[in-house]
Amino acid sequence: MKRVVVTGGMGFIGRNLLTALGRRGDVDTRAFDVDDPPEALRAALVQVDTVFHLAGVNRPQDPAEFQVGNVDFTRRLCEYLHESGARPTVVFASSIQAELDNPYGASKAAAEGVLAAWSRSGGGPVAIFRLPNVFGKWGRPNYNSVVSTFCHNVAHGLPLRVDDPESSLKLIHVDDVVTAFLRTLDAPPLDVERRVVAPITETTVGELASRVRAFRVVQHAPDVPDLSDRFTRALFSTYLSYLRPADLAFDFDTHVDERGELAELLREIHAGQVFVSRTNPGITRGNHYHDIKVERFVVIEGEGVVRLRALGEDEVHEYRVSGAVPQAVIIPPGTAHSIQNVGQGVMVTLFWATEVFDPDRPDTYYEAVLPSGEQP
């Protein structure tokens, strides 16, 4: 069992990393953030094996906070490690701005130097990741990334501010960052190493804004974006994670003639996987979540209840669904979900997933929607 400490555990990358660490059975993880007392961090660093150092200041009101939050805190972390005698692997979330001449980049470069000096004076190995603009579920709008801001604003009907449409962006999904971080547990650096994350997508602010705006047009329509490339799938998944609970369920058009009814759920050759299930009365399917995969559920025969709960939250949202009046329910990433047959007969449900099921990378993790011991 490896002892792992995560600084900045309440942040965007920290929350995604802690979720992934929680799925492993070989780590004892402790998370710390700005509100935790220094004594608690000092105590946790005794006999620690790996420190994921994610804590830092991104957009302060006073630029002097870059020095305090990024450099001074890193120096204090190294002092605590020196006092404890621990020589763990330190994984540092730096930034590509460390190569630029600005206060934020300079503070990240200085923090890299502090860690390198600690390592070379008897400390442990250090893996430095200079990250581009990271996006994905749980990012804070107007703070973590322009993707978070654009997705939040479009999903909530707010305007986008685009000062320079041609301004270039380098983007990476948070799952790829977490995957790269986790590799250090099994293949730690030998010294101070600069490691990279991939794949990085290069685009412009104007192109990003155009893509995100297009998602709103189709979010409640049978047409879905062309999801044939991985970046679009990740961006669409991120956008849907910002929808309000009231926007997750929607009605779709039903065409009626003498033959009966026809309801089209989706249209797109690269749209992933559509499948159907038959569920006996009283049975509940699901109780799991996905990191990037997004789904839609629609009951076409029988009666059911879809339950959704965002990870880390207590509130459960319920949607009563029935084949008599078909209604689709969106399952965002990072959301525990289940569907229960509450009718008297077999329930027939149509499912759509953005990715075809891959047994080598199923992206499906157990998580009960309802609190422990509570029955649906």
The residues carrying an active-site annotation are 104
User: Cα(131)–Cα(117) distance, rounded to whole angstroms?
Assistant: 21
CA dihedral (78, 79, 82, 87) in degrees, to 10, reads -20
Pull the structure tokens for residue 285.
Answer: 């399917």
Is the Cβ–Cβ distance between 255 and 261 less than 8 Å? yes
User: Cα(207)–Cα(90) distance, rounded to whole angstroms?
Assistant: 36
| Coil vs helix vs strand at 179 | helix
CA atoms within 13 A of residue 40's CA, in its CB half-sphere: 11
Is the Cβ–Cβ distance between 121 and 84 less than 8 Å? no
Is the Cβ–Cβ distance between 318 and 353 less than 8 Å? no
User: Cα(178)–Cα(190) distance, rounded to whole angstroms?
Assistant: 20
Is the Cβ–Cβ distance between 29 and 18 less than 8 Å? yes
Detail the DSSP E strand segments found in 215-366: 249-251, 254-257, 260-263, 273-279, 284-289, 295-301, 303-310, 317-322, 327-331, 335-341, 347-353, 365-366
CA atoms within 13 A of residue 27's CA, in its CB half-sphere: 23
Is the Cβ–Cβ distance between 6 and 77 less than 8 Å? no
**Beta partners for 308?**
317, 337
Burial of 220 (0-12, 13-18, 19+ CB in 10 A): middle
**Beta partners for 52?**
6, 91
